[in-house]
Amino acid sequence: MRRVGLLGGTFNPPHLGHLIMAEEVRTVLNLDEVRFVPNKIPPHKDISINISAYHRMKMVALAIEENPHFQLETIELERSGTSYTIDTIQLLKKRDPESRFFFIIGGDMVEYLPKWHKIDELEKLIQFVGVNRSNYNLVTPYNVQMVTIPDIAISSTLIRERLNDRQNVRYLIPQKVEEYIREEGLYGKT
């Protein structure tokens, strides 16, 4: 049975913190691959910066292209409506019944699990993997396997603010993602 990690998010934009988190979990849990799953309409976040799902997908593809263990999973972009994890997992399990799925979440989402759509049903279908994140408590009543990763205080919000203020983002996002952002004129004043 293949061991497949799933890392969902808006990836608005994807940054090195996402890549480090995915690689650390892949290594610690001996996963065969990690699939990056960009949300179309995330239930937990308001995409206040209007960057299309297409651009976010392209940036993820550029960010992960050099790691043979990383894959782009577009299942949430291919359907309409809010991107609920339960719907995604049910579709993935039908499409790929020979895989065991590990859903990777940061400390912020570990705290938020009680508010997830159909969380009790979802918990039976996948193994949650929580990673530490500064200022978040990793205590939860749900079955979450914890993986400690290096503390990396990079966020998509920080990247967007820096780009909007024409500040340097080198070494915070992959170079190809930065080039794409500049070529496409994303995030304001870049």
Q: Which amino acid is at 184?
A: E
d(CA 125, CA 104): 14
Residue 49, pLDDT above cutoff 60: no
When computed from its CA atoms, the radius of gyration of the chain, rounded to whole angstroms, is 16
Name the pTM for this structure. Answer: 0.93
End-to-end Cα separation, the chain, in angstroms: 45
Q: Domain extents for the chain?
A: 2-184
φ, ψ of residue 38 to 5 degrees: the values are -65, 135
Mean pLDDT of the region 127-156: 87
For the beta sheet containing 2-9, the strands, ordered from the edge strand earlier in sequence to the opposite edge, are 70-72, 33-38, 2-9, 99-106, 127-131, 144-147
The domain 2-184 is placed in CATH, from the list 3.20.80.10, 1.20.1250.20, 3.40.50.620, 3.10.20.90, at: 3.40.50.620
CA torsion angle 36 113 116 84 (round to 10): 10
Give tens-digit pLDDT for 65-120.
999 999 999 999 998 878 889 999 999 999 999 999 999 998 888 888 999 999 99
Mean pLDDT of the region 170-186: 96
